């Protein structure tokens, strides 16, 4: 988060408005009220500054600089109510023609509201500041408060739009952390294409980030990206982690497609073994494909049946695994088990046609 910086930025070396009044002697030099206030603010002597501002106000009335510094000092001391009151009065005293001073004021008020988690007020303040002058930092601050406040999909979508704008500005174009936030937000909203695009930025800026590459591959598969593109992602995955289960399962499928049974068995076996050792098994689809590939390449019916069973436990939507298991069981004379598999396959098929998930208990019979 980048809130709060505006409170001290508002310090000025000279007075905003100087209106006569008494001063004090500092090192043999007579200082004006404005100079005393600026010196105390620069030294962050907030209590002394607030006392001086009271005296200055008593002598000179409504001087805008008094309320500017009072807002800054009160905010620094955690008295948000007093700070907000001071800034509100400053806004009343600042002429509409002096837009630059309004800009500083809106930014300071936005920071104050953000710190007190009044995100709606902070958003209005930052939008007012942006209406005067756009800047990457102000867009970032607006994005932060909108993200912090977002609860509903509609609010998250609006926050995402602000974040998308921020990511086109200044240093934020190459901010891997912000791209990561954008990817996560789009994933929550179910925007696969946006998530995929954002993750491409993440891996560009953080090329060793394994989790981002894994998610990128899953989305490339879901979105039907080319085999060439998926192959490139898998190559990167294997460079980062040669034992990555998903990448090895995909390599096994590639080998199986080109008829290289030896390499298919190698990669499928590695996917299963590495997933079991690391506890980071491939997503169910690719884990199922790995076991299915091992089953298809098995020379022994018992080994093939064991792998078909594991494939179905990983991903029961693999209908070819059900069919082949039924054939093997019948060939082994295990007709009762074959009937059980056939019945379960039909139940699974119906659930898939109805877009329903397959509960684990349904697979207890295999």
Helix H, strand E, coil C: the string for 150-161 is: CCCHHHHHHHHH
Q: Is 247 within a domain? A: no
Residue 198 structure tokens: 């954002």
- The answer to whether residues 37 and 100 belong to one domain is yes
Distance, in Å, from the CA atom of 24 to the CA atom of 47, rounded to the nearest integer, reads: 18
- The answer to whether residues 27 and 87 belong to one domain is yes
- The residue ranges of the chain whose pLDDT is under 50 are 5-22, 25, 27-28
- The answer to whether residues 158 and 213 belong to one domain is no
Q: Which domain holds residue 361?
A: 260-366
Please identify, among 172, 188, 218, the residue that sits at the C-terminal boundary of a domain.
172
Q: Is 211 within a domain? A: yes
The residues, ordered by sequence, that sit 6+ positions from 244 with a Cβ below 8 Å of its Cβ are: 210, 214, 237, 238, 274
Q: Is 316 within a domain? A: yes
The strand pairing partners of 357, in sequence order, are none
- The answer to whether residues 73 and 138 belong to one domain is yes
**Count of domains observed in the chain:** 3
Q: Is 246 within a domain? A: no
What is the SS3 assignment for 132?
helix
pLDDT of residue 3: 54
pTM value? 0.67
Residue 189 and residue 153 in contact, taking contact as beta carbons nearer than 8 Å: yes
What is the SS3 assignment for 208?
coil
Q: Is 289 within a domain? A: yes
- The answer to whether residues 120 and 223 belong to one domain is no
pLDDT of residue 100: 66
Please identify, among 151, 172, 193, the residue that sits at the C-terminal boundary of a domain.
172
pLDDT of residue 99: 60
pLDDT of residue 2: 60
- The answer to whether residues 273 and 362 belong to one domain is yes
Q: Is 253 within a domain? A: no
- The answer to whether residues 145 and 291 belong to one domain is no
Q: Is 245 within a domain? A: no
Q: Residue 321's domain is classified under what CATH number?
A: 1.25.40
Residue with tokens 């299963």: 272
The residues, ordered by sequence, that sit 6+ positions from 67 with a Cβ below 8 Å of its Cβ are: 86, 87, 89, 90, 93
- The answer to whether residues 186 and 268 belong to one domain is no
Q: Is 153 within a domain? A: yes
Please identify, among 172, 189, 221, the residue that sits at the C-terminal boundary of a domain.
172
**CA angle, 234 then 237 then 239, to 5°:** 110
- The answer to whether residues 216 and 141 belong to one domain is no
Distance, in Å, from the CA atom of 216 to the CA atom of 322, rounded to the nearest integer, reads: 30
> In whole angstroms, how large is the CA radius of gyration of the chain?
32
Q: Residue 146's domain is classified under what CATH number?
A: 1.25.40.10
Residue with tokens 């085999």: 227
Maximum CA extent, the chain:
110
- The answer to whether residues 159 and 115 belong to one domain is yes
- The answer to whether residues 88 and 163 belong to one domain is yes
- The answer to whether residues 42 and 73 belong to one domain is yes
């Amino acid at each position: 988060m980048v809130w709060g910086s505006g409170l001290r930025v508002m310090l000025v070396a000279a007075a905003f408005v100087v209106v006569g009044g008494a001063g004090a002697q500092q090192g043999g030099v007579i200082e004006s009220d404005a100079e005393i206030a600026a010196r105390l603010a620069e030294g962050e002597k907030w209590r002394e500054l607030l006392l001086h501002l009271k005296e200055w106000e008593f002598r000179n009335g409504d001087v805008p600089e008094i309320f500017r510094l009072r807002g800054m000092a009160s905010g620094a001391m955690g008295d948000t109510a007093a700070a907000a009151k001071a800034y509100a009065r400053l806004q009343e005293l600042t002429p509409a023609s002096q837009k630059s001073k309004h800009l500083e004021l809106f930014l300071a008020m936005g920071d104050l509201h953000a710190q007190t988690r009044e995100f709606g007020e902070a958003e209005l303040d930052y939008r007012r500041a942006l209406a005067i002058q756009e800047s990457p930092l102000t867009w970032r601050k607006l994005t932060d408060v909108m993200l912090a406040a977002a609860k509903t999909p509609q609010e998250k979508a609006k926050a995402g739009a602000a974040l998308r704008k921020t990511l086109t500005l200044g240093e934020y174009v190459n901010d891997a952390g912000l791209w990561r936030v954008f990817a996560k937000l789009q994933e929550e909203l179910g925007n696969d294409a946006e998530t995929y695009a954002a993750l491409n930025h993440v891996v560009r800026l953080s090329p060793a980030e394994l989790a981002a590459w894994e998610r990128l591959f899953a989305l490339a598969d879901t979105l039907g990206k080319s085999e060439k593109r998926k192959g490139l992602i898998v190559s990167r995955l294997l460079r980062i982690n040669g034992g990555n289960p998903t990448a090895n399962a995909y390599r096994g499928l590639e080998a199986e497609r080109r008829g290289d049974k030896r390499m298919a068995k190698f990669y499928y076996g590695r996917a299963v073994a590495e997933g079991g050792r690391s506890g980071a098994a491939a997503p169910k689809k690719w884990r199922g494909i790995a076991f299915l590939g091992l089953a298809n390449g098995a020379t022994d019916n018992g080994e093939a049946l064991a792998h078909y069973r594991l494939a179905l436990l990983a991903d029961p939507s693999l209908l070819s695994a059900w069919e082949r298991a039924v054939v093997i069981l019948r060939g082994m004379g295990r007709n009762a088990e074959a009937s059980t598999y056939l019945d379960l396959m039909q139940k699974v098929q119906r659930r898939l046609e109805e877009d329903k998930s397959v509960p684990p208990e349904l697979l207890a019979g295999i």
